[in-house]
Amino acid sequence: MGQVGSTIAGLMVAYAYFPKELLGPGKRYALKLFSYFYPYLEITIPEYQGEYGFTRSKVFAAVERYLNAKSTKQAQRLQANVANNSDTIVLTMANQEQVTDEYKGIKLWWASKLTTPNQQSITFYPREDEKKHFKLMFHKRYRDIIIDNYLKHVLDEGKAITIKERQRKLFTNNKSEHWDFYRMDVWSHVVFEHPASFDTLAMDPLKKQEIIDDLMTFSKAKDYYAKVGKAWKRGYLLYGPPGTGKSTMIAAMANLLKYDIYDLELTSVKDNTELRKLLINTSSKSIVVIEDIDCSLDLTGQREKKEKKKDEEKEPIKEVITKKTEENKSSEVTLSGLLNFIDGLWSSCGSERIIVFTTNYKDKLDPALIRRGRMDKHIELSYCGFEAFKAFAKKYLDIDSHDLFVEVRRLLEETKMTPADVAENLMPKSDGEDEEICLMRLVKALEEAKEEEKRKVEEQKKAKAKGEEEEKKKEEENGEVI
Ligand SMILES: Nc1ncnc2c1ncn2[C@@H]1O[C@H](COP(=O)(O)OP(=O)(O)OP(=O)(O)O)[C@@H](O)[C@H]1O
Ligand SMILES: [Mg+2]
């Protein structure tokens, strides 16, 4: 098209932006005639909409994002703005600037325009009465393809860029006493800036890849879920001892998928109705997390309750959990309420959502809660293995091998140490510490942990033998009495 194209574009812009009210009646008639033969169609996208013009149009925002990407390469005049709550500079198309676009071989022209009212008005905020809009122009013969396909393409691309560039948020639920009926501010949030990623997560590489693949497949499976008639959501149960990376993995998941996180504190939810309200107020592309689900509520069902007393005598940890549950009696969220939250009808509002439960004791949970379909994938995070150690060594010390690796491998197979402890021992504590010193510290810590485990086993053995001896004595005494 070359020069002819730009001349046509120039004429079009002149026509489109010439104030029609300045023309006399004769010229207006001529213009009408001109527009009859005028081969181009225009679509205007105003920045504000709604009855009072106070609502910023989502279409405008998406188009703006889409055009920003184009205009940084094409436009000669750009406007620099600072993104909300951040120091990043965002370049946007300046007013009265235009860029061209091409879609399936069709040429389109976009222009940005700012209108300022003629009369002088006194406003509190400067420039609040200025109105901005985008104008799209294309040949009439492409009307259908542009309206049916191209506009959707622009919106999708714009939304995708927004999601990619947006600041992600970490939400926590407010206590219901603080809910404002009108604003429905059931969640409060801070900017989510956790550095964890699957790269920095030390675990068996094969297992890690399997989880990444699973997440990526989920995030791209919109059509599949629609086809099989399932709500687009997936549940993950992360279980394992404290310090094995469950919370870190959730952060890595959010960073991989660019999702927000809703950290749901179940103990401050009063009842099932509140739980539903919280769910309705979560957005798509998010991870809803309930940490330590076994401690949050008594969701273990009747079967476990009966055995509670017996277990408490055996395991002091269980006692703590039971106490915690009793403290939270004000919460009346029930197991069925929670099941409804996960996969009842309510759960289908919004889409592309991941629900993650974490627990230190998988066996304590009611099987109904964690069956496939609710918690689709169960991921065990366990004590540090040699593969995870190698990942830490690479990350913290930048080494792939060392003479001490053999020793570390043997000790890791013989004793249990959490990734959190391995990381702590391996991390250099000062500039003077080289890899040898760090590895030696880890070997020493592993040996101590091994000794400690041995000592505990000995103690348990002794306690058991003592108990048996006392039992025997009692039996003998009883026999003598009879
Ligand atoms: N697999 C891992 N890879 C990298 N860092 C890890 C890993 N596991 C633990 N860590 C480190 O150990 C610390 C504790 O980990 P995290 O909080 O994720 O454990 P957790 O399993 O959630 O524990 P808890 O059950 O007590 O909540 C974090 O600072 C994290 O950086
Ligand atoms: Mg945790």
What are 186-229's pLDDT values in tens digits? 898 898 888 999 998 988 889 999 999 999 999 999 888 888 88
Domains identified in the chain and CATH numbers: 39-165 (no CATH), 169-380 (3.40.50.300), 386-472 (no CATH)
- What single letter denotes the amino acid at residue 357? F
| The pLDDT of residue 308 is above 50 | no
Instruction: Give the closest residue (by CA) to ligand 1 atom 27.
Output: 242
Report CA-CA distances (Å) from 35 to 13, 266, 424.
13, 63, 74
pLDDT given at position 13? 52
CB 62 within 8 A of CB 154: yes
Q: 470 C-alpha vs ligand 1 centroid, how far in Å?
A: 43
Handedness of CA 289, 294, 299, 300 (dihedral sign): positive
Instruction: Give the closest residue (by CA) to ligand 1 atom 7.
Output: 245
Q: 276 C-alpha vs ligand 2 centroid, how far in Å?
A: 24
Q: What is the dihedral of CA 285, 287, 288, 290, to 10 degrees?
A: 180
pLDDT given at position 305? 43
Average the pLDDT over 69-73 and give the result. 73
Contacts of residues 139-143 at CB distance under 8 Å and 24 or more positions apart, as own/partner, are: 139/39, 139/40, 139/41, 139/106, 139/107, 140/39, 140/40, 140/41, 141/39, 142/106, 143/41
Give the ligand with the smallest distance to the CA of 246: 1
CB 260 within 8 A of CB 286: yes
Q: 419 C-alpha vs ligand 1 centroid, how far in Å?
A: 7
Atom of ligand 1 nearest to the CA of 238: 21
pLDDT: which is higher, 152 or 294: 152
pLDDT: which is higher, 85 or 114: 114
Hey, how many other C-beta atoms are within 10 angstroms of the C-beta on 59?
16
Question: Which residues, 6+ apart, have CB-to-CB distance to 152 below 8 Å?
Answer: none
If you average pLDDT over each of 44-58, 189-203, 245-259, which comes out highest?
A: 245-259
Tokens read off for 114: 């700012």
Between helix 151-165 and helix 58-74 the angle, nearest 10°, is: 80
Atom of ligand 1 nearest to the CA of 384: 1
Instruction: Give the closest residue (by CA) to ligand 1 atom 18.
Output: 245
d(CA 151, CA 149): 6
Q: 250 C-alpha vs ligand 1 centroid, how far in Å?
A: 10
Beta bridge partners of 438: none
Confidence of residue 307 (pLDDT cuts 50, 70, 90): very low
> Which of 207, 237, 244 best tests ligand 1's pocket when mutated (most atoms within 8 Å of CB)?
244
Q: 109 C-alpha vs ligand 2 centroid, how far in Å?
A: 52
> Which of 197, 203, 248 best tests ligand 1's pocket when mutated (most atoms within 8 Å of CB)?
248
| The pLDDT of residue 346 is above 50 | yes
Average the pLDDT over 133-160 and give the result. 91
d(CA 288, CA 374): 13
Instruction: Give the closest residue (by CA) to ligand 1 atom 14.
Output: 243
Hey, how many other C-beta atoms are within 10 angstroms of the C-beta on 245?
23
Q: 458 C-alpha vs ligand 1 centroid, how far in Å?
A: 30
Instruction: Give the closest residue (by CA) to ligand 1 atom 5.
Output: 201
Give the burial class of 244: count Cβ atoms within 10 A of its Cβ; 0-12 exposed, 13-18 middle, 19 or more buried.
buried
Rounded CA Rg of the chain = 32
Q: 234 C-alpha vs ligand 2 centroid, how far in Å?
A: 20
Give the ligand with the smallest distance to the CA of 391: 1
Considering the chain, what percentage of its residues have pLDDT values greater than 70? 73
| The pLDDT of residue 296 is above 80 | no
Q: What are the pLDDT digits (tens) for 91-125?
A: 677 777 888 899 999 999 998 887 766 555 555 44
Instruction: Give the closest residue (by CA) to ligand 1 atom 17.
Output: 247
CB 96 within 8 A of CB 133: no
Atom of ligand 1 nearest to the CA of 196: 31
Instruction: Give the closest residue (by CA) to ligand 1 atom 28.
Output: 420
| The pLDDT of residue 271 is above 70 | yes
Give the burial class of 132: count Cβ atoms within 10 A of its Cβ; 0-12 exposed, 13-18 middle, 19 or more buried.
middle
Q: 267 C-alpha vs ligand 2 centroid, how far in Å?
A: 16
Give the ligand with the smallest distance to the CA of 395: 1
- Ligand 1 binding pocket, CB closer than 6 Å: 201-203, 242-248, 360, 381, 388, 419-420, 423
ipTM of the complex: 0.98
Q: 309 C-alpha vs ligand 2 centroid, how far in Å?
A: 27
Beta bridge partners of 136: 43, 110
d(CA 99, CA 374): 48
Confidence of residue 235 (pLDDT cuts 50, 70, 90): very high
pLDDT given at position 336? 81
Atom of ligand 1 nearest to the CA of 388: 1
d(CA 8, CA 360): 69
Atom of ligand 1 nearest to the CA of 240: 21
Instruction: Give the closest residue (by CA) to ligand 1 atom 25.
Output: 242
Q: 356 C-alpha vs ligand 1 centroid, how far in Å?
A: 16
Q: What are the pLDDT digits (tens) for 446-470?
A: 999 999 999 999 999 999 999 988 8
Q: 381 C-alpha vs ligand 2 centroid, how far in Å?
A: 11
Average the pLDDT over 329-352 and give the result. 74
Atom of ligand 1 nearest to the CA of 201: 3
Average the pLDDT over 23-49 and give the result. 74
